Amino acid sequence: MCTTNKYGFPLRHRTRCKTFFGFGTGDMASAILPSGKFAGTHVGRLTVRESGVFEMKTPLGKVSPVRHRYCKSIHRNDGYMYAFSNECPMNQRLEA
């Protein structure tokens, strides 16, 4: 699969590698960003790029750029959709 120009010659191709720097798209990760607009600790799903500058989707919104060296893997992508929730059903049962 590739992108072609108007004459049909290939210009770009899809990357053959699915993981970069040990991370894959959809992995759950935590990132501790030391400086910049999004400084702080973030937890969410990664979108990886070959350059090592990732994008992270958190419950509060999108965090970009996230460098691979600041990421720590929590859960690998296994085909299911996972999400974080602030509410815990166990706590609600204990209070009642």
pLDDT digits (tens, 9 = 90+) for 29-61: 999 999 999 999 999 999 999 899 999 999 889
User: Residue 92 falls within a domain, yes or no?
Assistant: no
User: Residue 4 falls within a domain, yes or no?
Assistant: no
Q: Which domain holds residue 30?
A: 18-77
User: Residue 83 falls within a domain, yes or no?
Assistant: no
CATH number of the domain that residue 32 is part of: 2.30.30
pLDDT for 82 equals 72
User: Residue 69 falls within a domain, yes or no?
Assistant: yes
User: Residue 82 falls within a domain, yes or no?
Assistant: no
Output the DSSP codes for the chain: -EEE-TTS-EEEE--S--EETTEETT-EEEEEE-SSTT-EEEEEEEE--TTSEEEEEETTEEEEEEEGGGEEEEE---SS-----S--HHHHHHH-
pTM (2 d.p.):
0.71
User: Residue 96 falls within a domain, yes or no?
Assistant: no
User: Residue 89 falls within a domain, yes or no?
Assistant: no
User: Residue 34 falls within a domain, yes or no?
Assistant: yes
